[in-house]
Amino acid sequence: MIWDTTAIWQALAGGLLIGFAASVLLIFNGKIAGISGIVGQALNRSLHGQGWRYAFLIGLIISPLIYGFFKAVPQISITTSDTIIIIAGLLVGIGTRMGNGCTSGHGVCGIARLSLRSIVATVTFMVAGAVTVYILRHMI
């Protein structure tokens, strides 16, 4: 992919919006914007005060739909089997449980708070992802 100035500005705007949303959630609710934790706790019906979790998740779902009214949404082409996608999803779920969070919780919120645990977790996510892509693309 060749980056032009439009793509750079869009990436910057997206990053700023993610940071802003995470900051607003932390400042006004005292909550970390970790998607795996939000989804996991939203599924737990015994917890009280679930409204903000549902609102956050609905926002994640409808944002691309709103974006689609203003600009064409990029086409996604998945070339792997459903079985591989399911296995990958389960592995990501297991990894987020083992790491006590996901890239949004650790990478966006944890690093911003200078959490050593989050920095280590994020570096681990990135290295594991790079090694996985290398193995799948170049060795298998």
Q: Name the band, by pLDDT with cuts 50, 70 and 90, for residue 1.
A: low
What pLDDT is attached to residue 117? 92
Phi-psi domain of 124 (left: phi exceeds 0; alpha: psi -120 through 50; beta: other): alpha
pLDDT tens, position by position, 47-82: 777 888 899 899 989 988 998 999 888 888 888 889
Q: Is the pTM of this model over 0.75?
A: no
Residue 32 has pLDDT above 90, yes or no: no
Rounded to 5°, the CA angle 90-106-46 comes to: 65
What's the confidence (pLDDT) of residue 135?
Answer: 93
